């Protein structure tokens, strides 16, 4: 049973989206202070979604942008709005509102804004639920003193609006990030309530990984003749090597221990279907010579933030979590994603494995499939328009898994781990 050798962190050999011409960030004529920040961060060439979206946003048009996770869509809207702020010397007040479905994503967006805006006078703050009283007071104080960009989760923003702690009367740009996810999470009414507080004359930007009918319904009600940009909708990044093991349920945990104990991978995320299963798996695999932690909704926000910082700093090798981990985290060089359970929604598969091969890097994604999930996994293959390499040949002490029976043949190819020397 072979695993691929650890991959080099490069973009060699990875097909890139075709472009009509090669652009640099300097072609967008950003304010010099913003260009200084981009240069300091090592940003030179825009990604396809940035190349297409930024000029539309600079022209003041409404925009629906659809792109998979990891393509740089946050910078696609952050950079032009920062450029607009940097070119004007105005009093800090909420000019831009970014709505995100989770606190993790809100924090990530705010961190990116801080990096890009370092040499500008633009200010931002993220507000979200689940904080202690001191953090909540800090957020309110920052808003009352004046801030250019507000990044918020729907629930916390509505609480501020109801208490009259935030004024959106001068808002110029409303951005809905991960719009499909927000609608899936039941935030439709909350979004309508928030929009009722913002000026009718505004620019509205909607960013989404997928384009279900309800997104178009939202756009038709709340946007003015929006332009549309779509980049590789619902397709995993080209740099992800995908494979699957056909397993019985009692083979999953031994197989997980085998893979993690192989010595090939240093930075891994394991996705499981429930919070309780996440906790159980963490206990099961703690005996391995790796630092393993569980990431779930029972943790406080401070605990989750500290855990994510440890993972980024490589003081934690393996995170085991539910789909809360599939959105709103920005961690580089994740080598392997393991789907211990097949996700219930094919779109969730795309988001899960999108945590690896960020931007132009490479990575691997492994899925364990039991016989009950054959049809569900076939739906995933139809969505991404690709048959994924499958095998039921497991390590000899684990046994043989079930045969693939949905009319598609298993490859029969085998993978063998290379032990670290």
359 in any annotated domain: yes
Residue 182, domain CATH: 3.40.50.300
pLDDT of residue 347: 72
pLDDT of residue 22: 66
Q: Are 392 and 403 in contact (CB under 8 A)?
A: yes
Q: Are 172 and 150 in contact (CB under 8 A)?
A: no
Contacts of 86 (CB under 8 A, 6+ apart): 30, 31, 33, 34, 117, 120, 121, 122
Distance between CA atoms of residues 38 and 53, nearest Å: 17
20 in any annotated domain: no
pLDDT tens digits, one per residue of 128-170: 876 666 777 777 777 877 889 999 999 889 988 888 888 899 9
Among 200, 231, 262, where does a domain finish? 231
Q: Are 240 and 353 in contact (CB under 8 A)?
A: yes
Q: How confident is the model at residue 415 (pLDDT cuts 50, 70, 90)?
A: very low
**Alpha helices (H) in 206-248, listed in sequence order:** 213-222
pLDDT mean over 275-282: 91
418 in any annotated domain: no
Q: Are residues 190 and 300 in the same domain?
A: no
* pLDDT: which is higher, 356 or 233: 356
Q: Are 370 and 394 in contact (CB under 8 A)?
A: no
Which two structure tokens, joined as six digits, stand for 106? 């809100």
The answer, yes or no, to whether residue 342 has pLDDT greater than 90, is: yes
Distance between CA atoms of residues 402 and 370, nearest Å: 7
Q: Are residues 202 and 332 in the same domain?
A: no
70 in any annotated domain: yes
Query: Hey, how many other C-beta atoms are within 10 angstroms of the C-beta on 169?
Result: 9
How far apart, in Å, are the Cα atoms of 291 and each of 12, 260, 311?
A: 31, 11, 10
Lowest mean pLDDT among 29-33, 90-94, 145-149: 90-94
Q: Are 152 and 126 in contact (CB under 8 A)?
A: yes
Helix (H) or strand (E) holding 307: helix 301-312
149 in any annotated domain: yes
Distance between CA atoms of residues 237 and 17, nearest Å: 11
Q: Are residues 251 and 356 in the same domain?
A: yes
Q: Are residues 210 and 270 in the same domain?
A: no
399 in any annotated domain: no
397 in any annotated domain: no
Q: Are residues 104 and 157 in the same domain?
A: yes
Q: Are residues 75 and 213 in the same domain?
A: yes
Q: Are residues 32 and 171 in the same domain?
A: yes
Q: Are residues 268 and 158 in the same domain?
A: no
pLDDT of residue 212: 74
Mean pLDDT of the chain: 84
pLDDT of residue 166: 85
Q: Are residues 197 and 295 in the same domain?
A: no
With left for phi above 0 and alpha for psi between -120 and 50, is residue 409 left, alpha or beta? Answer: beta
pLDDT mean over 62-71: 81
- Domain span including residue 315: 240-391
Q: Are residues 284 and 168 in the same domain?
A: no
Among 231, 250, 282, where does a domain finish? 231
Provide the sign of the torsion angle of the four alpha carbons 103, 104, 107, 113, taken in this order.
negative
Among 231, 256, 273, where does a domain finish? 231
Distance between CA atoms of residues 286 and 292, nearest Å: 6
Q: Are 137 and 165 in contact (CB under 8 A)?
A: no
With left for phi above 0 and alpha for psi between -120 and 50, is residue 228 left, alpha or beta? Answer: beta
Q: Are residues 321 and 220 in the same domain?
A: no
The size of the chain, in residues, is: 421
Number of domains within the chain: 2
Q: Are residues 84 and 121 in the same domain?
A: yes
Contacts of 131 (CB under 8 A, 6+ apart): 139, 301
49 in any annotated domain: yes
């Amino acid at each position: 049973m072979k695993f691929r050798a650890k991959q080099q962190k490069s973009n060699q050999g990875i097909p890139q989206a075709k472009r009509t011409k090669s652009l640099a960030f300097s072609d967008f004529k950003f304010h010099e202070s913003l260009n200084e920040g981009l240069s300091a961060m090592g940003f030179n060439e825009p990604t396809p979604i940035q190349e297409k979206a930024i000029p539309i946003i600079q022209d003041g048009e409404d925009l629906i942008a659809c792109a998979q996770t990891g393509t740089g869509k946050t910078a696609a809207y952050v950079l032009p709005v920062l450029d607009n702020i940097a070119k004007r010397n105005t009093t800090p007040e909420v000019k831009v509102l970014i709505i995100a479905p989770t606190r993790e994503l809100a924090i990530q967006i705010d961190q990116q804004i801080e990096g890009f805006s370092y040499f500008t006078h633009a200010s931002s703050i993220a507000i979200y639920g689940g904080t202690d009283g001191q953090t909540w007071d800090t957020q309110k104080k920052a808003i009352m003193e004046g801030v250019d960009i507000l990044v918020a989760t729907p629930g916390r923003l509505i609480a501020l609006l109801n208490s009259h702690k935030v004024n959106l009367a001068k808002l110029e740009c409303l951005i809905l990030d991960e719009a499909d996810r927000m609608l899936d999470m039941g935030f439709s009414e909350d979004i309508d309530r928030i929009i009722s507080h913002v000026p009718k004359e505004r620019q509205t930007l909607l960013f989404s990984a997928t384009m279900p009918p309800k997104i178009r319904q939202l756009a038709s009600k709340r946007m003015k003749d929006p332009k549309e940009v779509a980049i590789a909708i619902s397709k995993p990044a080209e740099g992800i090597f995908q494979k699957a093991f056909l397993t019985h349920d009692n083979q999953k945990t031994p197989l997980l221990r085998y893979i993690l104990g192989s010595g090939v991978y240093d930075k891994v995320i394991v996705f499981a279907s429930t919070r309780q299963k996440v906790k159980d798996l963490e206990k099961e695999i703690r005996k391995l010579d790796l630092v393993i932690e569980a990431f779930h909704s029972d943790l406080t926000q401070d605990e989750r933030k500290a855990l994510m910082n440890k993972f980024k700093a490589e003081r934690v090798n393996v995170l085991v979590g539910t789909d809360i981990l599939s959105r709103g985290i920005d961690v580089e060089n994740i080598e392997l994603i393991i789907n211990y359970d097949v996700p219930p929604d094919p779109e969730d598969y795309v988001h899960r494995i999108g945590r690896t091969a960020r931007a132009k890097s490479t990575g691997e994604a492994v899925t364990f499939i039991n016989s009950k999930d054959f049809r569900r996994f076939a739906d995933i293959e139809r969505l991404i328009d690709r048959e994924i390499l499958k095998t039921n040949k497991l390590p000899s002490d684990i046994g043989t898994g079930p045969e693939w029976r949905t009319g598609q043949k298993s490859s029969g190819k085998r993978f063998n781990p290379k032990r670290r020397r």
